[in-house]
Amino acid sequence: MQQVLLYTKDNIMNTMTKTQKYPHTLAVFTNDKLKMFHIWQTSQDNLKNVSVVNALSKAKHALSGKLSAQPAATTSFYRVILNKRKDWKVEYHDIKDVDKDELTIMYNLVKDDLEDKNYKCLTRHPYVRLQSKKYAGRKYKSILISNCDQKRIENYASNMLEDCLNNNIDIQTTKTKIYRLVTNKKSVIDNISQLWSHVYHNYSEQGDMYSEAA
């Protein structure tokens, strides 16, 4: 059951510089069996768009091979939820109007509380973004495999393999195998979504081409 919690800002430092503030909600996705969580920051009014069903839709789009799927394909939460689709729930923390400093404090309060309970944050490098809507619709820079060096490609592959949650994979050797495959002149893989699609279908236990000998 989804629950909305109201956070007050009484415990926030009074010395912060006054800046423009925007209403925000922290949608906290947790999986009690996996002991994992993801914090989705949003300024949307309609929280129906911030749900487990919506997250699964984004996760499936991440496999499409399209350049537009890059944001989803580079998000660990969408990769993990595609591999383990059951037992996810979401809880909304309404924190009203905040600036970036206040949003960061609230984000860290939730994150630290879950980590104290031995939950793992799926975001490897958490970054709080104040959603002012000023840059809504702004285009992101597409990442092409042909423009990446070996270290960067292997790093993408390593993270994707880790997000498959498959203990049968030797990530260190497999990431190099993937690098050689995608940099082969005959390879048709040249964006992040295509790379994730290859990893998922071949190395996730949910993938349609997976075998333990892959």
Query: pLDDT tens for residues 155-195?
Result: 999 999 999 999 999 999 999 999 999 999 999 999 999 99
CA distances from 144 to 7, 13, 57, 86 (A): 41, 43, 24, 32
Tokens at 151, concatenated? 């270290």
Distance, in Å, from the CA atom of 37 to the CA atom of 3, rounded to the nearest integer, reads 16
Pair of tokens at residue 12: 């926030």
Q: CB neighbours of 85 closer than 8 A, spacing ≥ 6?
A: 56
> Is the C-alpha dihedral spanning 164, 205, 114, 43 positive or negative?
positive
Domain map of the chain by residue range?
A: 4-121, 145-203
Entry pTM: 0.84
Segments in the chain below pLDDT 50: 1, 9, 11-17, 135-136, 213-214
Which residue, 181, 33, 18, is CA-closest to 100?
Answer: 18
